[in-house]
C-alpha cells in the first residue's frame, strides 16, 4: 500500500494526472482540453479513498457516469450499424459519417458539462483533502506497521505451508520408495516361491512318472509270467486231458458192469423212496378224512344245540306274550 505524499509536495489546484505527467501539459494544445480535463478528473476521483469523498463529490459522480453511459450507448448503436459491411449499403456511408459527427459533437458537449460539474465537485473536495491527507499521514505509520506484521505472519504461514508440503513430499517419496521396495521384495519372493513350486511339481511329476514306469514294468513282467503260466497250464491240461482220455478208455472197458450195478442200486433206492412218500401221502389222507369227520360231527352238534336254543327262545317268547295280558289286567 503506497503512502500519500506530504501536503507541501502536492498541488491541489490541478488534477493528479497532470501533476504526475508533466508531458501531458505540453500536449494539451493538440488535445481537446475539455475531454482530457474530464478524463483526468474522473481518474483522480476514482483513485481517491472512499473516506475522502464528500457529499457533493459523491452526488456529482452519477451525473458524469450517466453522460458516459449515454455516450457509450450512442457509440455502440452507431458502431453496430456501421461495423457490419455485409448489411450496410454504399449509399448509407455518407449518412453514417454524418451521424458519427453528430455523436462526436454530443460527446464534446457532454464532456463540457461534465467538466463543469467536476470542477464544482473538486472545489468541495479540495477543502477537505488537506485535512484528510494530514490524518492519513499520521495513520500511515501504524497502518504500515500492521501491514508489515501481517506480511510477516503471511510469510510465516506460507513458509509453514511450504515446509509442510516439503515434509509431505518427503514422506510421500519415502512411502513410494518403501512401497516400491516392498513390491520388489514381494515380487522376488513370489518368483522364488513360483520357482520352488515349479521344482517341486517337476520332482513330483518325475516321481510319479518313475512310479508309473515301474508299475508298467511290473505289470509287463506279471503279464509275461501269467502268459508263461497259462502256457504251462495249457500244456499240463492238454497232457492231463490225454491221460484222462486214455484212463477213460481203460475205465470204460472195465467199469461198465460196475456202473450198471450202481445204476440198479440207485434205481432201487429211488423206488423205495417213492413208495415211502406214497405211504406218507395215504396216511395223511386218512388223517385228513378223520379230521373232516370230526369237524362234521362238531358242526352237527352245534347245529342241534342251536335248534334247541331257538326252540327254547320261542317258548320263552310265547310265555312272555301270555303273561303280559294277565299282568296288565
Q: Among all chains, which residue has been given the C-alpha cell 491240461?
A: 237
Residue 233 lies in a domain: no
134 and 11 part of one domain: yes
**Which residues are within 8 A (CB) of 6 and not within 5 positions of it... i.e. 6 or more apart?**
133, 137
Residue 2 lies in a domain: no
**CB-based contact 168:31 (threshold 8 Å):** no
| 25: Cα within 13 Å, side-chain hemisphere | 9
Give the domain extent around 92: 7-143
137 and 263 part of one domain: no
Alpha-carbon gap, residue 44 to 61, rounded angstroms = 12
**CB-based contact 115:37 (threshold 8 Å):** yes
Alpha-carbon gap, residue 35 to 149, rounded angstroms = 44
What does the pLDDT read at residue 325?
57
Alpha-carbon gap, residue 298 to 293, rounded angstroms = 9
**CB-based contact 35:113 (threshold 8 Å):** no
What does the pLDDT read at residue 226?
83
Residue 41: which of 69, 22, 60, 66 has the closest Cα? 60
Q: Among all chains, which residue has been given the C-alpha cell 378224512?
A: 289
Cell of 241: 486231458
**CB-based contact 41:111 (threshold 8 Å):** no
Residue 155 lies in a domain: no
How many structural domains are present in the chain?
A: 2
- What residues in the chain have per-residue pLDDT under 50? 1-69, 71-72, 74-75, 78-79, 81-82, 329
Residue finishing a domain among 143, 162, 186: 143
Cell of 86: 455485409
Give CA 236 to chain center in angstroms: 81
Residue 104 lies in a domain: yes
Residue finishing a domain among 143, 165, 187: 143
Residue 99 lies in a domain: yes
15 and 136 part of one domain: yes
Residue finishing a domain among 110, 143, 176: 143
What does the pLDDT read at residue 327?
52
Residue 60 lies in a domain: yes
Residue 101 lies in a domain: yes
Residue 221 lies in a domain: no
What does the pLDDT read at residue 323?
66
What does the pLDDT read at residue 51?
40
Q: What is the 3-state secondary structure (H, E, C) of 205-255?
A: HHHHHHHHHHHHHHHHHHHHHHHHHHHHHHHHHHHHHHHHHHHHHHHHHHC
What does the pLDDT read at residue 7?
42
Amino acid at each position: 500500500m503506497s503512502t500519500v505524499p506530504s501536503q507541501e509536495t502536492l498541488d491541489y489546484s490541478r488534477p493528479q494526472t497532470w501533476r504526475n505527467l508533466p508531458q501531458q501539459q505540453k500536449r494539451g494544445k493538440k488535445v481537446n482540453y475539455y475531454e482530457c480535463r474530464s478524463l483526468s478528473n474522473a481518474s483522480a476521483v476514482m483513485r481517491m479513498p472512499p473516506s475522502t469523498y464528500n457529499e457533493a463529490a459523491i452526488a456529482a459522480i452519477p451525473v458524469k457516469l450517466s453522460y458516459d453511459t449515454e455516450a457509450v450507448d450512442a457509440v455502440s448503436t452507431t458502431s453496430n450499424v456501421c461495423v457490419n459491411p455485409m448489411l450496410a449499403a454504399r449509399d448509407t456511408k455518407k449518412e453514417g459519417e454524418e451521424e458519427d459527427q453528430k455523436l462526436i459533437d454530443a460527446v464534446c458537449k457532454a464532456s463540457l458539462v461534465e467538466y463543469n460539474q467536476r470542477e464544482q465537485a473538486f472545489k468541495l473536495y479540495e477543502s477537505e483533502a488537506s485535512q484528510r491527507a494530514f490524518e492519513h499521514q499520521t495513520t500511515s505509520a501504524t497502518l504500515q506497521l500492521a501491514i508489515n506484521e501481517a506480511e510477516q505472519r503471511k510469510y510465516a504461514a506460507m513458509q509453514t505451508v511450504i515446509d509442510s508440503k516439503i515434509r509431505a513430499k518427503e514422506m510421500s517419496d519415502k512411502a513410494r520408495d518403501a512401497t516400491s521396495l516392498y513390491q520388489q521384495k514381494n515380487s522376488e519372493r513370489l518368483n522364488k516361491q513360483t520357482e520352488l513350486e515349479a521344482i517341486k511339481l517337476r520332482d513330483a511329476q518325475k516321481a510319479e512318472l518313475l512310479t508309473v514306469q515301474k508299475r508298467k514294468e511290473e505289470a509287463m513282467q506279471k503279464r509275461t509270467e501269467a502268459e508263461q503260466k497259462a502256457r504251462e497250464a495249457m500244456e499240463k491240461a492238454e497232457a492231463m486231458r490225454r491221460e484222462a482220455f486214455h484212463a477213460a478208455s481203460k475205465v470204460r472197458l472195465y467199469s461198465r458192469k460196475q456202473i450198471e450195478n450202481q445204476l440198479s442200486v440207485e434205481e432201487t433206492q429211488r423206488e423205495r423212496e417213492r413208495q415211502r412218500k406214497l405211504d406218507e401221502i395215504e396216511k395223511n389222507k386218512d388223517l385228513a378224512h378223520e379230521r373232516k369227520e370230526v369237524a362234521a360231527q362238531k358242526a352237527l352238534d352245534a347245529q342241534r344245540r342251536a335248534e334247541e336254543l331257538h326252540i327254547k327262545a320261542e317258548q320263552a317268547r310265547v310265555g312272555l306274550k301270555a303273561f303280559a295280558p294277565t299282568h296288565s289286567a
